[in-house]
Amino acid sequence: MTTPEEVDLGDPVAAVVETGPDAYDETPYRAFRFPETHPTRLAALARLHGLAAPDPNCARVLEFGCAGGSNLAAMARTLPTAEFHGIDLSATQIEQGRRQAIAAGLGNLRLDVADILDVDFGDARYDYMIAHGVFSWVPDPVRERLFELIRRHLAPTGIAYVSYNTLPGWSVNEAVAEMMRLEAGELADTEGRLHAARATLETFRALFDGAHGPHTELVRYELDHIGGKDAVVFLHDELEATSDPCYFLQFVEWAAEHDLRQVTDAALPTLWPNALPQQARQALARRGLSWLKAQQYLDYLQWRRFRRSVLCHAEVALDELPNPTRLDGLYVQTRLRPSGPISVAPGMPIKYRVDGLGAAGSGDVMQVTDPLIQAFMHRLWATPHHFQAFRETLDATMKDAGNAASAPGREAVLRDWVMTNLARGWMDIAATPREVSGTRLAP
Ligand SMILES: C[S@@+](CC[C@H](N)C(=O)[O-])C[C@H]1O[C@@H](n2cnc3c(N)ncnc32)[C@H](O)[C@@H]1O
């Protein structure tokens, strides 16, 4: 096996900076991957809004704070002709990631130790720039610089993805985490800090034993959520000195100061008005709110705690809402599976169950009576592990459905149905015909 030093990790674009060991050197983060950051997903979302995002197959992709590069490695495997570059402050994590990349034969993945604050990318332009789980955990100057780097190095029609903890939803988590930090923050050794924090959590849990009421449920949910975290994630997410959630509109304004704008959110289940009940959509429309402002109101009402903003250059022309006619040229896949025998009699209802362990809506059942939609679903779930070309599937469906497809407006009904199910998180889209990854987007 070759050593990391012997491997060609690409052109020396990033300056490798000297940094001292940090918390992530002592305890490396868990190796996660985030399908919602995949360029094929980001490109598809952008295209629905009218932005011709770069071809993922030959894209240059950068991830800030990539830890050991697990997310990049997963994407580099599925897009072998694209180039992936990750930077992280922690030399230990980068070293681990490099070894794994070499072992996996990933010649299109390069990992560098670098600080967002002073990294120099030269003239490099990236088609996709990702910062997952970084923005809310770093001080303001780092966030400021993150936006500067995105503005300077994002290709003209490129896409950036930045996730962050949002208010008001994160506030309960923050309150619990602050109390644990008060108890554990002063302790020098990691084991001691973990022990003190867990003990604090148990004390709080006991306070709520047998109690009821909306506030109790809210706090109990948070205590269970935090208590359920694995020790490493718990250590970094809850006991980290910097944790700074913000409101959605604050983030949007901050991005705008750097000439960046929000295209959409990468979490399909909370994406568009389609996810809302009809009455709620009408109520919003009556208020005449922009979708941007409406999203902030929804964050307040739904107590939203996390966002995945998809950004582009401010001067790029965009549709505020996604356009169903732009599904043409994209690929779709469904998590809906028939939950019983399929009746051959046209018009008889077919029940579908939402598949996917732990994912949004798992186990939910929906009933479909429209033969056109039944025919479409029949084609989609015939190859459940692949994304299928929407336009071709639609054309074939229109033929399969015969009379059920002949009335005017039927195609639009089907397109709307797909958009609604994308927004529910029961379908997924991609800009290339990728395979379905094992990991699904959590709510
Ligand atoms: C919470 S972890 C998230 C890791 C990974 N992105 C994820 O979501 O699983 C934050 C990462 O950001 C890195 N980081 C923090 N400050 C940084 C900086 N100024 N420059 C580069 N990386 C930084 C840390 O070393 C750590 O690996």
* 84-122: pLDDT as tens digits: 999 999 999 999 999 999 999 999 999 999 999 999 999
Tell me which residues of the chain have a pLDDT lower than 70. 1-21, 187, 241, 269-272, 274, 340-347, 356-364, 434-443
Q: For residue 66, report the distance from its CA to the centre of ligand 1, in Å.
A: 6
Q: Are 24 and 236 in contact (CB under 8 A)?
A: yes
pLDDT at res. 363: 61
Distances (CA, A) of 61 to 66, 97, 111, 199, 287: 12, 16, 12, 42, 40
How big, in percent rounded to 5, are the helix, strand and coil portions of the chain?
45, 15, 40
**What separation in Å is there between the alpha carbon of 26 and the centre of ligand 1?**
13
Mode of pairing for the β-strands spanning 60-64 and 126-131: parallel
Angle among Cα 43, 47, 53 to the nearest 5 degrees reads 50
In the prediction, which pLDDT does 9 show?
31
Q: What is the pTM of this model?
A: 0.88
pLDDT of residue 269: 59
Q: List the one residue out of 274, 324, 428 whose CA is nearest residue 50.
A: 324
Whether 138 lines ligand 1, by a CB cut-off of 6 Å, is: yes
Cα 261 from Cα 53, distance rounded (Å): 14
Q: How far is the CA of 232 from the centre of ligand 1 (A)?
A: 14
332 lines ligand 1 (CB under 6 A): no
**pLDDT in the model for residue 341:** 66
Which distant-in-sequence residues (6+ apart) come within 8 Å of 293 by Cβ? Answer: 249
The pLDDT assigned to 403 comes to 79
Instruction: Could you list the beta-strand ranges (E) of 126-172.
Output: 126-131, 154-165
The structural architecture, per CATH, of the domain 4-167+245-313 is: 3-Layer(aba) Sandwich (3.40)
Q: Name the token pair of 44.
A: 């598809």
Q: Atom of ligand 1 at shortest distance to CA of 240?
A: 1
Of 331, 310, 307, give the one whose Cα is nearest residue 418. Answer: 331
Q: Which of 25, 72, 89, 306 to mutate to test the pocket of ligand 1 (most atoms within 8 A of CB)?
A: 89
Residue 345 is predicted with a pLDDT of 65
Tokens of 166: 């949002």
Ligand 1 mean position to 93 CA, how many Å? Answer: 10
Nearest protein Cα to ligand 1, atom 9: 32
Q: What gap in Å lies between CA 174 and CA 166, rounded to an integer?
A: 11
